[in-house]
Structure 1
Amino acid sequence: MNDLLPKPIEKIGFSLGVGSIFFAPKNGEIIDKKDYFESIKKELLKIENISKLKFSRTDGQFGCYIEYQHDEDIHVPHIYDAEISFNLFVSREKQKELGFWCGDENISFILSNHYYHPVCYVFSQERKNEFDASTSVAMVRQYLREKLEDSDILLCCVGPSPFHAEFIFFETEEPKNELQDVSEGFGYKAYISETKSLDEAILYFSEKYGSTFSLFYHLHNLRSKCLNLQAAIVNDTQEKIEEISSGSKFSKTKNIVSSESFVDHINMSSLRDIMARSEMISLIDENFNESQNKDINDELEFHFRDLVRFSKDASHMAAMDIVRNIETRRQSFFQNFSVLVAGLMGGILGAILGSTLTIMLSK
């Protein structure tokens, strides 16, 4: 932890890691909130190293279903203000096996359903100064993923988890309760704050910054959805171009003519991408103004810069230009074909009519 802090500010304190690690029904089915939390409780209780498992406010207001991108779309019930917390023991040997060492074997984990998206907080039960909170988030993610691999629930993670910052608290009798950026150089940020106790720090931190982290991860989830849709659009378009470009002239024409379902598929994917981007833009515009109700704290606004740039990027439209070209060629073929058929039919009818009149006049 201390290597993140400038030497003059180095003190004894405890650190807090932030991420978005949550649980979903593995089969992808939408289930009600009671079944959802019961299935989580059932599977977590099977993990022998978990203690003090607690569910709070799970009967709260139902918000929405979070669409999480996995092998297939997963829908996660989102209950406002619901919270799951537990203590977790992971030995040094096991952490090393997973490729981590966070500086403590006794970890506390809190999952809070803030307004937009679930956010988790990870910290050392023993408040060890050498505790690396960011590493602990990655370690807990990997450990739970391994333990839940054969369970009925899926461990979900929206990146970046860990959040690219370390939050360090120092105990004092008269805390200022403000985050101070003490980072040096590029990379991970480091913030310090004062508090009377660990419990008070976590409560205050969650209440003040929870909405910001929640919005951050909701936007990143939308970004992931857009990236997946973009990748699918580009790959499908590339395959279609290769299909149209290969073979005889007849087969090329046939592939263009049969492109209607492909065009519909690409248009639908593009529409979903545009809708997700529109939601991103709307939320960013709403929260980057001077409104008193904005959910982005000024201290953490730096972490939203990439999301702002992404929401305004239009490079994904190149594939749509290709699709429009294919559709234009397809429609042009049918228009030309219609003119040809009309001409042929007119000629045939004209010949029949001419022959009929000739026969009638010859009698």
Structure 2
Amino acid sequence: MKWFEHQADAAENKKIRKIEAWGARLNPELGAMAAVGWYFRLLEVITRHGRVFRLPGDYDLALLAQDLRTSEENTVLFLNLLSEINAIDREAWQSRVVFCPKLAKRADRYTEEMIKKEVDALLGSSEKTISYELYRTIEMLAQHPDPRKRNTYGQILHRLESFSRQAPRSLADAEHICTEAAHICAESAHISTYHTTPSPSPDKEASASVASPAAPGDDAGRPPEPVDSVSVNRGEAENEPQPIQNRFGPANLVKLWNDMGCKPMVSELTDDRRKKAGLRLRKRGDPEWWRRLFEKVRGLNKPWLTFDFLMRNDTNCLKVLEGNYDRDFRTGGNGGKDRLRFGAHKEKDREDSGKYAAIGRTFATDPGAGGAGPGEDSPGQAGV
């Protein structure tokens, strides 16, 4: 979200003016400014999902309409307008994928500036410690489908591994995500149209292969051994050290969630989900522990008990296992918002004591509510 920019000159932007005109036709009094607000709010929703989101797989249309403070019908009309004026990718929207190429370019520009600043500061410091976030970002970009970016960030990654005295501590507990990162980058590049570079020369391809990131479990006290790209392409890399075992990582966690039939299904492992799942797995990496948790979630079958809810913090997972959510939520001092939100409220037993039972008896004996006369012990009966 740090790389999101607000256009200070939005009033001079042609697309913004078209959005204003459309909003004015929708509502002559307030529609122009409302439509512009919808646009910037939509950009915020996109950044929360990474670069793209799908309707309804990643995000429900009703939730998006709630974010825009409008109806679902107006939301679809608004997205159709944005695709017509190329504010969002037209081809992507035909398959109900919301993707803003300009926003993605801003993300790339911010990422490049951030990496250059952080790497220069790191290599110029006496402490050669790589943060997990920086390493993971560069590692993903080293697998970019654009060969120019892949070569550049591969060399940066090689320099960091050569100069660093220790690998990032948190990275040792994370899974090796190179393959999955390449899939995510390839997906974004497939949607975007600005990744257009000529095919790389054999020397550049070999350089990119040499600069491939080391496995998370390696001690980054020495640079990785060069790998013959020709041998790798022929499948003759038998002499390379193989990892001892495959770590149970975020991708495996999502697969376990979907395979066990938990609802709603997770259709995409976004960057935010990967980061939060990695934090949860650093503390509890036993697959059987997560299997027991997901079995409990599937048995409870509550609409709010989602994968993202569990990944939010460790406390939510523990509360589910300890049975804190076995019973439905009751209305507290918030005016019944929990009941409206979760849809799992059960009617209070009118025989129970307390203020809720008193309110229930009052409503039950109200002549205007159900047509029945007041009870014998109801308030004000003596004066009727």
Question: Could you state the TM-score of these two structures normalised by the residue count of structure 2?
Answer: 0.27
Name whichever structure is richer in strand by fraction.
1
TM-score using structure 1 length: 0.28
For the pair shown, the structure with the greater C-alpha radius of gyration is 1
Bigger helix fraction: 2
